[in-house]
Amino acid sequence: MLSLKGIHKSFPGVNALTDMNLDVRSGEIHALVGENGAGKSTLTRIIAGVHQPDSGELSFDGRAVRWSSPGEAKKAGIHVIYQEFVLFPHLSVAENIYIGHERRNRLGFVDHRRTRRDAAELLARFGLDMDPAALVQDLSVADQQMVEIAKALVHDVKLLILDEPTAVISGPEVDVLFRRLRSLRDAGVAIVYISHRLEEIFALCDRVTVLKDGKYVATREIGAVNRDDLISLMVGRSLSDLFPPRRKRSDEGEVVLDVRGINVPGRVHDASITLRAGEITGLAGMVGAGRSELAFAIFGALKTSAGQVLLRGRDISNVTPARAIREGIGLVTEDRKGQGLAMQLDIAANVTASTISEVSRFGLIDRRREEEIARGEIANFRIACRGPATSVSLMSGGNQQKVIVARWARTSTEVLILDEPTRGVDVGAKAEIYRIIQELADRGIAVLMISSELPEIVGMSDRVVVMREGHIVGELSSAEISEEAVIGLATHQSAA
């Protein structure tokens, strides 16, 4: 269905792709993997007609092509679903599906009844029980994703490209997505699946192509490789090197934070958790289990209706984020772009954002001091950049995440809460972030790590607490931690 041979693409000062090759067959799900900066996004944009290759051959559906625009590629049957959905939240499901291809009556006016009817038929063919008249803003993220896929199916889709489709969903929602994609594959659609989550590649895909530094590395049948093979192809290191060696703990550390019976109305119910010095506590559970809400409540960013928070025995209940920071508690949020970083500012400003008083005097920022601090953190956290004045918007996801962790590591002398610390980060950057987390714990900081990735929970945690439907439903000691044990607690019948 799709073939690329010897594709080259450069931008001013950067060779994005060099001698790139890829072939995708009809009726297969083909994984595209590699670290951030490997060339996946550039390759996708060339396939979709956003960029023109400098040289090389591209053929689609049996003929040589060179797209002049994304519209031409889409007309030929190529559709891309990006991480950021292109939806209109205040319009209905049906209106979003047929946007630009509105159903009209004989007078040329939009026929809303026909639009809803056709949308219902399309959704039914895809096995979706969704109200075509519902507003997109009222849908779950998983259902919004299905609307994006339905938009593609309005056309004669021959090649569907999905970029990190499970970045914002998990558990049963992922299972639903996989069933839909397999149905499309069985109908003859070629699918390119881009993901950092290697377990998904093995569960879903037929073949996998690995990219590294803008170059083609290899294509393998999925049954011919294992997880360690893929990691070695991507980053030149084995799976055993991904997580830091598990530490031997002779005794339990001192209790730093004792959370007792916390309630967040409608979200967290009677939750109690203890964090100890030098310990990495994993907080696991399905999306919607209340993990992030518990973290925000501890940090003072969500109002609680009951419960106590003790920091080394002192009651700091109803703490505010400002006081939490003063007390040595930090929170790395899941949404690094929306809640974590000031995207238009540089590294120096972002690193010192939580300690602004340290770099200001009489209301003025001491830029020299700010950059001095940033240079130290760039070295400490091995942040790849040109210097403190580099805009974070120009950095890879892994390096953006290091900037956030560097900021909070400066202030989090007691507790550091990390919510999905490696979401959207490539394998190589993950290994670096895991090393940083381990080093922070070794300093004696109590670390609470929220993650939806079971290998991460198992590989990093000294102890695991599991939530379900707002309740804490179990705790696993180091010897008890396994993927099966975590899943068993997370998916058990509803809490009483």
What are the sequence ranges of the domains in the chain? 2-237, 255-490
The reply to whether 2-237 and 255-490 are identical in fold is: yes
The per-residue pLDDT string of the chain (496 residues; one tens digit each, 9 = 90 and over) reads: 889 899 898 877 667 888 889 999 999 999 998 866 678 888 988 998 888 888 989 999 888 888 888 888 888 889 888 766 778 888 888 888 888 777 888 877 888 888 888 888 888 876 677 888 889 888 877 778 778 878 877 777 889 998 888 776 666 777 877 888 898 899 899 999 998 778 889 999 999 999 887 888 899 999 998 887 887 787 665 555 677 777 666 567 899 999 999 999 989 999 999 999 999 999 998 777 889 999 999 999 999 999 999 999 999 998 999 999 999 999 988 877 777 788 888 898 888 887 777 778 877 888 888 888 888 888 888 888 888 888 888 887 778 888 888 888 888 899 999 998 887 776 777 888 898 899 899 999 999 999 987 888 988 999 999 998 899 999 999 889 888 888 888 876 443 3
What CA–CA distance (Å, rounded) separates 350 from 327?
20
What CA–CA distance (Å, rounded) separates 53 from 409?
42
What CA–CA distance (Å, rounded) separates 245 from 154?
50
Q: What CATH number belongs to 2-237?
A: 3.40.50.300
Q: What per-residue confidence (pLDDT) applies to 289?
A: 85
Does domain 255-490 fall under CATH 3.30.450.20? My reply is no
Q: What is the 3-state secondary structure (H, E, C) of 157-209?
A: CCEEEEECCCCCCCCHHHHHHHHHHHHHHHCCCEEEEECCCHHHHHHHCCEEE
SS3 278: coil
What CA–CA distance (Å, rounded) separates 79 from 184?
13
What CA–CA distance (Å, rounded) separates 276 from 284?
17
Q: What per-residue confidence (pLDDT) applies to 191?
A: 93
Cα within 13 Å of Cα(64), Cβ side: 3
**Contacts for 353 with CB less than 8 Å, ≥ 6 apart:** 342, 407
Give the predicted TM-score (pTM) of the model. 0.61
Q: What per-residue confidence (pLDDT) applies to 36?
A: 63
Q: What per-residue confidence (pLDDT) applies to 455?
A: 81
> Tokens representing 113?
């009844």
Q: What per-residue confidence (pLDDT) applies to 492?
A: 67
Q: What per-residue confidence (pLDDT) applies to 250?
A: 55
Q: What per-residue confidence (pLDDT) applies to 493?
A: 42
What CA–CA distance (Å, rounded) separates 494 from 134?
28
What CA–CA distance (Å, rounded) separates 449 from 441?
11
User: Would you say 426 and 438 are in contact if contact means Cβ atoms under 8 Å apart?
Assistant: no
Q: State the first-to-last Cα distance of the chain, in angstroms, to the nearest integer.
A: 52
Q: What per-residue confidence (pLDDT) applies to 494?
A: 40
